[in-house]
Amino acid sequence: MAIKKNELDPRVKRTRQLIQDAFTSLMRENEFNDITVKDIAERATVNRATFYAHFVDKFDILESKITESFMTILLRRIDGHEILNEETIQSIFLAVCDFHKDLSTLCQRSYKTLGTQFESKIKEITKTTLNAFLTKDKILNSNEQLLLNTASIMLSWGMYGAAYDWNNEGRHIPAESFVKQNMPLVMNGFKELLTVMN
């Protein structure tokens, strides 16, 4: 990111928020590809130099917005969870569903393009979160680390793909029902993993 000023300065935070809000507003009205830095700066009532002091380009602001949004959703969902169990996995899965729902609302016109564009970022955050739970308070040998890493990848990719498809197909059932319906598929593999690890 291109921030050159003190991020803790209230004026810097306020300007950054103005730019993000302008971008969000434009995303609701236009295709992502049709939005320019000039449009964002004008909507935020800042000049282009100020925009570039905060963001490299419109992709940078989009990535920042998507990452912040997903982290907020995820942290809210897993707040209070200490160990990785069925309830924690369900909360992480719901966070991925919430993210897709929010992204398609924010970017109605560009969701199919952008949903896949940020797939790796969301999968990586989900994988890292799962890994943190799986390895918490454990001393692991290299084989166990490899196994847990693979399990985190499979869980995160599976959750992402299922949530993306659920949202793309029109969310015919609420996220809670969708996740509950699919938890047995997720948990069978997880229970097998726990057996191997114990």
Contact residues for 164 (Cβ-Cβ < 8 A; gap 6+) = 100, 115, 116, 119
Q: What is the pLDDT of residue 2?
A: 46
Please state the rounded mean pLDDT for residues 9-19: 89
Torsion of CA 24, 28, 30, 31, to 10 degrees: 80
Arch. (CATH architecture) of 60-197: Orthogonal Bundle (1.10)
Please state the rounded mean pLDDT for residues 67-76: 93
Q: What is the pLDDT of residues 46-68, one digit of tens each?
A: 999 999 999 999 989 888 888 88
Torsion of CA 115, 187, 132, 154, to 10 degrees: -50
* Residue 33 clears pLDDT 50, i.e. is over it: yes
* Residue 4 clears pLDDT 50, i.e. is over it: no
Q: What is the pLDDT of residue 103?
A: 80
Which CATH code, of 3.40.50.1000, 3.20.20.80, 1.10.10.60, 3.40.50.150, is assigned to 10-56?
Answer: 1.10.10.60
Q: What is the pLDDT of residues 98-139, one digit of tens each?
A: 998 988 877 666 666 666 667 888 999 999 999 898 888 878
- Domain-wise residue ranges, the chain: 10-56, 60-197
Q: What is the pLDDT of residue 196?
A: 58
Please state the rounded mean pLDDT for residues 72-88: 93
Q: What is the pLDDT of residues 173-188, one digit of tens each?
A: 999 999 999 999 888 7
